[in-house]
């Protein structure tokens, strides 16, 4: 299962979902999809934006966990 670590990155950077929305121009719904791990897909452009905002690598943003 692929999991987005946006919630953790927001907490680490002391940033709100509202601020992320302002910095990224994502819709409120899209930010919530990343925050609550309900997003079914992600565009490379979105990965680039998030990595720039959080100054991180893709591995800091997305993780893969095996479902048992």
Domains and CATH numbers, the chain: 2-64 (1.10.260.40)
Q: Does residue 67 carry a pLDDT above 90?
A: no
Q: Does residue 68 carry a pLDDT above 80?
A: no
Q: Is 63 helix (H, G, I), strand (E, B) or coil?
A: strand
pLDDT at residue 66 in the model: 82
pLDDT at residue 16 in the model: 96
What gap in Å lies between CA 19 and CA 41, rounded to an integer?
Answer: 22
CB 9, CB 56: distance < 8 Å: yes
pLDDT at residue 15 in the model: 96
- What are the tens digits of pLDDT across the range 8-62? 999 999 999 999 999 999 999 999 999 999 999 999 999 999 999 999 999 999 9
For the whole model, what pTM was predicted?
Answer: 0.89
């Amino acid at each position: 299962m692929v999991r987005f670590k946006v919630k953790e990155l927001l907490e680490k950077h002391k940033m709100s979902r509202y601020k992320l929305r302002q910095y990224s121009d994502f819709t409120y719904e899209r930010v919530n999809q990343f925050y609550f791990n309900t997003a079914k897909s992600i565009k490379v452009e979105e990965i680039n934006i998030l990595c720039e905002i959080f100054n991180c690598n893709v591995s800091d943003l997305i993780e893969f966990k095996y479902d048992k």
